[in-house]
Amino acid sequence: MSAGVTSLPEVPEVRAAGVPRLTAGFDLAERLDLAGHLVVHGPLPPLSGERLAALAEGIALRGRGGAGFPFARKLRAVADAAVRRGVRPVVVVNGSEDEPACRKDTVLLNRAPHLVLDGALLAAEALGARTLVVGVTRDSTRRSTERALDERGLADRRGAGLRARVQRNPHRMVTGESSALIRSIDGGPAKPPGRRVRAAETGVGGAPTLLSNAETFAQLAVAARTGVDRYRSTGVPDEPGTVLLTLSGAVARPLVLEAPSGVPLRYALQLAGAPADPQGVLTGGYHGRWLDPAAAHGAVVSRAALERVGGRLGAGAVLPLARDTCPLGEALPVARWLAGESAGQCGPCHRGLPAAARGLEEVLTGGGPPALEALRQITDAVRGRGACRHPDGSADFVESALVAFADDLAAHVLGGGCGRPVRAVLPLGTGGTGAVDGDAGEVSGRVLTVDWTLCEGHRLCADIVPELLPIGPDGYPSVAEVPVPHRALADAERAVRRCPALALRLEADPRHAAGPEAPGRGRRALRRGRG
């Protein structure tokens, strides 16, 4: 078995445990065109709005993008708002999937795009919508979806009964947030607007908008063909049907797995070639939670069951860790990546998340109990205060790692470290650098360094890159060295040029050049203050 992967194939291997539903026909073709789709799945029966809502209610369909909101309630809320306001609603398929550990929606849009469109078109017909938008961030999903729309004769033309198009956005974590996607469709930046907006009331163009992810619409299309009883014959009673999981981390073969809900988590891990006795399993991806070995061994895959043991289904990403790696050291690059994915619009994101990543590094590099206490204060402070849920999910990731890997934490806080290497098994993109499909939010391999012998506290740098160089109580930058994401590289260069005291430098990141390294006591990559 390999030590792990630092990136996932864009469209990984797909397997099914049991009879495939969403992935039916994948053994026949790499991509099901419209003709192949109809051979595999058959024609789609028409459904009225109320029958569609009753169907979604009957199969207990919840959003599969992470939030898990009941689809029938969302459908009825959009319909009610459209009638009350006398406007046509909009249907949006969220196929963004910008987390490095998730590939299920990418697989569906690349290999079974018509199943996703079936569900979206059922909803559009039921609501009387005249606009359908599919949001994506990868070129492969854009090409496949545009081809599928063309195969159906759908286009963004004036006078068409239904105007359909693909919205291509930058590949960043916050792009997939629902309000960010709606904002980009309206011509704005693909960032959350900074205020809580109910899409069902005011979405695209101010119209009531039904927005859900690709798997949700595909599940709806499957249920429309099978009916409630047959759909419920698979899976657990309270969450019937199948689920799509993306398995990576310390596995022999990363894959997307379709399995009935209620399947033992250890069986899903076995199919991917995970260690028989992992030291922990991350459930729900990078906005998810870690399970310790005992909880992971007894867990089954469903939203409620994972929540009961402290895990999270989220967007279906599952990542085990072997016992020959430093688990908190593995979590640190992810914490940095989450900080780099900030939209830079609110304090909890552009100040809190970088501080949490630095705090975790302080714990790993000899900060002792004071560093651990400071880290916990930071994660508590960012929760519930962001413009979107990115700070909350990121804090959950860090905090659950501290709980799940308590022995490793004690070795770093009270001793000289755990002594194990960091094998970089948690995917962050091609080559482990975090660059996935041209993602501009990942690490650039450069660090911004403050020369304290020259810094005079002019604060111009903080005006240009506040997310990289927060100002401390003394009026000086509170960090000495910070990795620069690709998206901030141009601003970092401008900050270097603008510094009147010539106190800033952009240098190659030695941690990047040297490859994965186990954090050890006494090595402090980030200095605090001016000392």
- C-alpha 437/C-alpha 433 separation (Å) is 12
d(CA 364, CA 526): 12
Q: Tell me the pLDDT tens digit for each residue of 177-190.
A: 888 899 999 988 88
DSSP string over 267-288: HHHHHTT--SS-SEEEESGGGS
Separation CA 445–CA 43 (nearest Å): 51
What pTM did the predictor assign? Answer: 0.81
**Over pLDDT 90: what percentage of the chain?**
61
Q: Is the pLDDT of residue 518 over 50?
A: no
Closest among 130, 187, 134, 136 to 163, alpha carbons compared: 130
| Rounded average pLDDT over 511-531 | 37
Please say if the pLDDT value at position 40 is more than 70: yes
Render pLDDT for 67-105 as a digit per residue (tens, 0 to 9): 778 999 999 999 999 999 999 999 999 999 888 999 999
pLDDT level of residue 491 (50, 70, 90 thresholds):
confident
C-alpha distance across the termini of the chain, in Å: 46
Helix axes 390-404, 406-414, angle to 10 degrees: 80
Q: Which two tokens stand for residue 164?
A: 């359909």
| CA–CA separation, 337 and 327 (whole Å) | 16
- Higher pLDDT among residues 448 and 268, named by residue: 268
Instruction: Give yes or no for residue 286 having a pLDDT over 60.
Output: yes
Residue 279 or 479, more confident: 279
pLDDT at 467: 67
> At residue 267, does pLDDT exceed 60?
yes
Q: Residue 302 above 80 pLDDT?
A: yes
Q: What are phi and psi of 242, to 5 degrees?
A: -110, 165
Q: Is 221 exposed, middle or buried (0-12, 13-18, 19+ CB in 10 A)?
A: buried
Q: What is the CB neighbour count within 10 angstroms for residue 459? A: 14
| pLDDT confidence of residue 513 | 44
The pLDDT value given to residue 195: 67
Q: State the Cα angle at 94 between 301 and 383, rounded to 5°.
A: 65
Residue 472 has pLDDT above 80, yes or no: no
What integer is the mean pLDDT of 204-212? 95
Confidence of residue 473 (pLDDT cuts 50, 70, 90): low
More confident residue, 465 or 288: 288
Mean pLDDT of 380-403: 86
Q: Looking at residues 373-383, what average pLDDT do you find?
A: 89
Q: Tell me the sheet residues that pair with 75.
A: none
Residue 433: is its pLDDT beyond 60?
no
- Taking residues 337-352, report their average pLDDT: 78
pLDDT attached to residue 280 = 96
Tell me the two tokens of residue 76: 């009825």
Domains assigned to the chain: 1-13+241-325 (3.10.20.600), 20-225 (3.40.50.11540), 330-414 (1.20.1440.230), 443-514 (3.30.70.20)
Return the CA Rg of the chain.
Answer: 23
Decide if 78 contacts 200 (C-beta within 8 A): yes
pLDDT of residue 517: 41
Beta-strand ranges (E) seen in 229-274 are 235-236, 239-240, 242-247, 255-260
pLDDT given at position 2 = 38
Average pLDDT of 340-364? 83
pLDDT at res. 4: 42
Beta pairing partners, 321: 280
Q: Do residues 115 and 218 make contact, with C-beta atoms less than 8 angstroms apart?
A: yes
Compute the average pLDDT of residues 239-249. Answer: 97
Does 199 score more than 50 pLDDT?
yes
> What is the average per-residue pLDDT within 29-50?
95
**Whether the predicted pLDDT of 231 surpasses 80:** yes
pLDDT in tens, 115-153: 999 999 999 999 999 999 999 999 999 999 999 999 999
Strands lying side by side in the sheet with 504-508: 481-485, 443-450, 504-508
483 beta partners: 447
Give residue 443's pLDDT: 58
The pLDDT score that the predictor gives to residue 194 is 66
For the four alpha carbons of 73, 287, 354 and 436, in that order, the dihedral sign comes to negative
3-state secondary structure 386-412: CCCCHHHHHHHHHHHHHHHCHHHHHHH
pLDDT of residue 510: 59
- The DSSP output letter for 372 is H
pLDDT of residue 398: 95
Please tell me which residue, 446 or 413, carries the higher pLDDT value: 413
Over the chain, what is the mean pLDDT? 87
pLDDT at residue 440 tops 60: no
